[in-house]
Chain A
Amino acid sequence: MDNILEVRNLTKKLQDFMINDVNFNLGKGQVMGFIGPNGAGKSTTIRLIMNLIKKDSGEINIFGLDNVNNEKEIKEKIGFVYDETYCYEDLNLIDMKNIIARFYKHWDDEAFYKYILEFNLPEHKKIKELSKGMKIKYSLAIALSHKAELIIMDEPTSGLDPVFRRELLDIIGSITKDKNKSVFFSTHITTDLEKIADLITFINDGKMVFSNTKEYILKKYKIVKGDNQLINSSLKKELIGVNEDSLSFEALTDNIEKIKSTFGKDIFIENASLEDIMFYIVRGYKNV
């Protein structure tokens, strides 16, 4: 499969934070969930991809082209949705669209008005009068109206109520029916990704934890529960972020086969959700 987005050994040092050796690939027609707790480096990575900030080292190739040297060409084919709209708030939706549309060679006004109607957006309202959810939908309408092949979204669901979030996820789900469009979606709300993501990349404290298919990750990581007397040094090596009380323990493992063969039926095994995986890994990292 052709990679739409390739990130190799990406490094960026900021004042009190560092993106360190991040690697991942996003293929054509795929949806990648980019997860991590607040402050993990998700927005910084997106800003690096969009060349809003300059990388110290590493490579970012989009559509097979370097993201800095071929910036204009690449951005013609990228639709972006940030956590804020970053538009002139005193303009109405149409005036702002008229400013943005001129920058794209393949702007499709018909598509824009179709999305405005579909998302139920008030055309002549000023941007500052829109709710957060409407602003995100407006950004999405813009992102989808110039035949973009890669949609980059930075925490689009944060701060939205559950109804709006669900609606937005349905919209993203419908975008991905077009197999020419890939979506790179950062969020700390992992439940958003359970249905729509093909790939998951997890970043914590600027370092990449994993990047793989959602199926592989959900198969690899399991929650284990048992009597806390079972915990010994050999078990501990296989556990991530152990949660213990006086009687029992609960933890995440990425080596379920070994645990099964050692402890057999003494240990309960459950499927882990993406939220469990993120929680235990972040917790384990903090306890190191």
Chain B
Amino acid sequence: MFNLVLKDIIIQKKNLQSIIFTVIFCMFILQFIGQTCIYVMVPYFFTNVFIISSCGYGEKNDVDRMFISLPVNRKEMIVSKYLSTIIFFIMGIAITFLFTSIEKLSGLSNINRFMNLNDITIAYIFNAVYSSIYIPIYLCRGYLKSQWVSRILNYFVFICLVSITLILSFVEDGTAKESVVNLISLPDFQLIMFIIGLSFSLILILISIVISFKLYINMDV
């Protein structure tokens, strides 16, 4: 199964350079909306681009037929897709953390804080929502037919992320409503959010894996 994850990473080799340049460019633009926006959106879109590219590249070359003919079972193929998503997310976090830290320390941008657990949790919840819906549809309907779902999910996530980013920005600069500030200032708010977010993501992914098993295991390739 880890070979399948590794394969998903290796095939991105040719895209890696352009994706990293795009990420840096996005970071530069997004800092004007709010720094939370960078910390949440960049890892989300980084993961998203890698999942889409891995699925699209696979379908373009019709490689599923070859991989199912190797000593791999379909359950492993399904779970590996979700694992790849997590790996891409970790890579996205690492790259965002690295570049934003360089920007902050160099003093060349508006960024005045480091990435925190809140940013990672929010980004991960959206990634979990995206992959939990997208992967079963991709496995069942293929890359081309799953693109409209991907687009709708991205619009949805973008609107949610911008809303959350704005709320957090208002909280940071002190212009948010008192009730929101009070909620966020509750003791252990970050910890509670982290636990709820992680549990929600985990349940969503588990449900999605079960649906993918039902759809893909008996599917004719």
Contact = CB atoms under 8 A, between A and B. Distances in A.
A148 to B, nearest CB: 11
Most buried by B among A72, A86, A98, A105: A86
A52 B71 contact: no
Contacts of B14: 90
B11 A88 contact: yes
23 contacts: A47-B220, A47-B221, A52-B69, A52-B221, A53-B221, A54-B218, A72-B71, A76-B71, A84-B62, A85-B66, A86-B65, A87-B61, A87-B63, A87-B66, A88-B11, A88-B57, A88-B63, A99-B7, A100-B66, A100-B70, A102-B6, A103-B3, A103-B72
Contact of B62 (A86, A104, A105): A86
A207 interface: no
Interface of A: 14, 47, 50-54, 71-73, 75-76, 78, 80, 82, 84-91, 95, 98-100, 102-105
Interface string B65-85: 110111111000000000000
Contacts of A91: 11
A138 to B, nearest CB: 12
Contacts of A52: 65, 68-69, 220-221
Given A88-B11, A90-B14, 19 more contacts: A52-B68, A53-B220, A71-B73, A72-B73, A76-B71, A78-B69, A80-B69, A85-B66, A86-B61, A86-B63, A87-B66, A89-B61, A99-B7, A102-B6, A103-B3, A103-B70, A103-B72, A104-B70, A105-B71
A95 B61 CA distance: 15
B10 interface: yes
Interface of B: 3, 6-7, 10-11, 14, 57, 61-63, 65-66, 68-73, 218, 220-221
Q: Which 3 A-B pairs have the closest CB atoms?
A: A86-B66, A53-B220, A75-B71
A144 to B, nearest CB: 15
Most buried by B among A72, A78, A98, A99: A99
B71 A104 contact: yes
A76 B70 CA distance: 7
Contacts of A95: 10
B67 to A, nearest CB: 8
A237 B113 CA distance: 91
A14 B10 CA distance: 36
Nearest to A48: B220
Contacts of B69: 50, 52, 75, 78, 80, 82
Contact of A51 (B11, B62, B68): B68
A54 B221 CA distance: 9
A31 B10 CA distance: 37
Contact of B3 (A50, A54, A102): A102
A100 to B, nearest CB: 7
Contacts of B71: 71-73, 75-76, 103-105
A27 B45 CA distance: 54
Contacts of B221: 47, 52-53
Nearest to B10: A99
Nearest to A79: B69
Most buried by A among B7, B69, B220: B69
Contact of A72 (B3, B11, B65, B72): B72
B68 A50 contact: yes
A54 B73 contact: no
Most buried by A among B7, B10, B61: B61
A54 B10 CA distance: 30
B220 to A, nearest CB: 4
Contacts of A51: 68
Contacts of B68: 50-52
Contacts of A47: 220-221
A14 B221 CA distance: 12
Nearest to A85: B66
Nearest to A100: B70
Given A90-B14, A103-B71, A82 B7 contact: no
Contacts of B72: 72, 75, 103
B5 to A, nearest CB: 11
Contacts of A88: 11, 57, 61, 63
A126 to B, nearest CB: 11
Given A52-B221, A95-B10, A99-B10, A75 B70 contact: yes
